[in-house]
Every structure is written in C-alpha cells, then in structure tokens.
Amino acid sequence: MDIANSSVIIPEEKILERKVKCMIISLLSQSHEIMYRYKLRSMNAKKCFYIFSFGMIILGFGIQGFCQSTKNEKSYQGKPFIDSKYKGGAQVLPGKLQCECYDLGGEGVAFHDTDSINSGSGKLNPADGSYLHEFRMNEAVDISYTKFQDPPIDNNAFNLVEPEKDQLYVGWTKPGEWTKYTVNVTEAGTYQLGLMFTSNKNGKISIAVNDKDATGLITIPSTANEKETVPWRNWHHWNSLDNMAQIELKKGIQTITLHTEELGDMNYDYINFKKIK
Ligand SMILES: [Ca+2]
Ligand SMILES: [Ca+2]
C-alpha cells in the first residue's frame, strides 16, 4: 500500500458531529469570555451562565444522539424491493411481510445465502419468461411458489393450513442465512408475529429489529408426515403460527431481519405482524 498517496475518508455524519462539538465548545468559551468582559460576577449572572452552559451541554448530547441515529440509518445500504409488479416501497406494518420481497442490495447487505444460485427461480422452475419462474432468479436467495396441480404439490392432503395458490416463498433455507426488509411501521406498539410456513425438521428462526435480536430462538414445528407417500412433498406441507413471538415496534421506517438459526429446511411465505396493543 502506498501510504504517501493514501487518504482517510471521513464519513459525512462524522464531519457533522465534529462541527457540532466545535460549535458547542466555541459557544461555551465565548460565553465565559463575555461573563468576564462585562464583569458579570454577581450571583444572578453566574447562575445564568451556569444554566446556559448546562443547557448547551444537554443540547450537545441531543445533537450527538441525532448524529448517531443518522449514522445508523445511513450505514444500511439496502433499499426496499421493487419490480414490474411490486412498486409499494417499504412493506407496511401492521400487515403481512412477504418474505420473498427482501430488500435490494445483494449478499451481505440485504441477505446472506450459503451459495450463489437461486435453487428455485430459473432452476427448479426453469426460466420461461413467466413472472413466477423468473422471480429474482439471478439472486442467491432460493425462491419458489405454491403450485396447485394434479397430482398435488402444495394443494396436498397433509396441509394443516391451506396455502393460497401461486404464492412466492423463500425456501431451501439453511442455518446462518438471513433476509432483511425495510418496513414502514404506521403504528407504534406491541405486535404479535405469525408465520405461514412449511418445516421439515423443527428448525429455529429469530427476528431482529434494526439489527438487534427481538425474539430469541423460535421453534418452527415440523410439518413432515410419516404417512406422506411422496417423500419430497414433506417440504410442501403448509401450516401457520398465529403467535410465534411478540415484539415492540416504534413508528417509522426501520428494518426487520429474518434469520434461519438452526436446522433449516423451512419455507417462509410471509410473516404476519398483528398489532395487539
Ligand atoms: Ca441459494
Ligand atoms: Ca410470500
């Protein structure tokens, strides 16, 4: 590395934070100077000076906090999903968070997947020009959709809850994988989380809000059935959990991350966010 030609890039929010700190120090020193210049040495003048100084320090902390939150928001480079059909921007909560509509931004930003191919779109479901077969087919997150056919696939007799037809879902899930979503929470409060899923091994997931774990490990009970006559169809037995966790959400734009924690082999259609208080 050529040290002579290297340069340190200071982030914009860091520059703002430094300017604010300099401004406060400058104002404090100027006020001190004013106090002595005009010989404001009476008790009242001193009290005013100390109250003013205290106010400036509180203001400084407030502005620093604002800079920090601005920094956190700016540090995430993902953007809400958009395509020819979905143009809604950040997914709105309360409501259903569609798992396949994770953010744009790529590996390590909007998702982590253990390989670089989509095992569903463009592979299991060959590219044929259709929306369902080519949905995000050049991204690593593995996506398929509910197929109602004869002989049955997702419309099978072992479903505990009947799914809707042609619903896109994230599948082929493995421990360590995650998908992130920019959401717009319209009402602050306590939310009950539900999940439309299939599960093959009693896998575990967790949900993070703004990158902080909000649920701990959640077991997603297996929907495999020993009476199933078509072994691979054990990946297509749908069920839903109405209350897998309860979390607090603030109002506004933020991120939700769905983590596959243990075992994997689950399909995620959507997470239902229901406000309960
Ligand atoms: Ca993959
Ligand atoms: Ca879905």
* pLDDT tens-digit readout, 156-210: 999 999 999 999 999 999 999 999 999 999 999 999 999 999 999 999 999 999 9
Distance, CA 14 to ligand 2 centroid (Å)?
A: 39
DSSP helix/strand/coil, 131:
helix
Residues 103 and 41 in one domain: no
Distance 110 CA to ligand 1 centre (A): 14
Same domain assignment for residues 44 and 112: no
Q: Which amino acid is at 27?
A: L
- What are the backbone angles phi and psi of residue 192, rounded to the nearest 5°? -95, 130
- The ligand that comes nearest to the alpha carbon of residue 264 is 1
Amino acid at 5: N
Quote the CA–CA distance of 18 and 185 in Å, as a whole number: 32
Q: Are residues 112 and 214 in the same domain?
A: yes
pTM: predicted TM-score of the whole model, two decimal places? 0.76
Which 8-state DSSP code applies to residue 8? P
Q: Is residue 4 part of a domain?
A: no
User: Residue 179: what pLDDT?
Assistant: 98
Q: What is the mean pLDDT of the chain?
A: 86
CA Rg value for the chain: 26
Ligand 2 centre from 150 Cα, in Å?
22
pLDDT at 3: 34
Q: How confident is the model at residue 6 (pLDDT cuts 50, 70, 90)?
A: very low
Same domain, 62 and 106: no
Question: In the numeric block, which tokens belong to residue 120?
Answer: 């569903």
Q: Which ligand is nearest to the CA of 172?
A: 1
- Number of C-alpha atoms within 13 angstroms, CB side, residue 21? 9
Q: Which domain covers residue 162, as residue numbers?
A: 91-275
pLDDT at 37 over 90: no
Predicted confidence at residue 38, as pLDDT, reads: 53
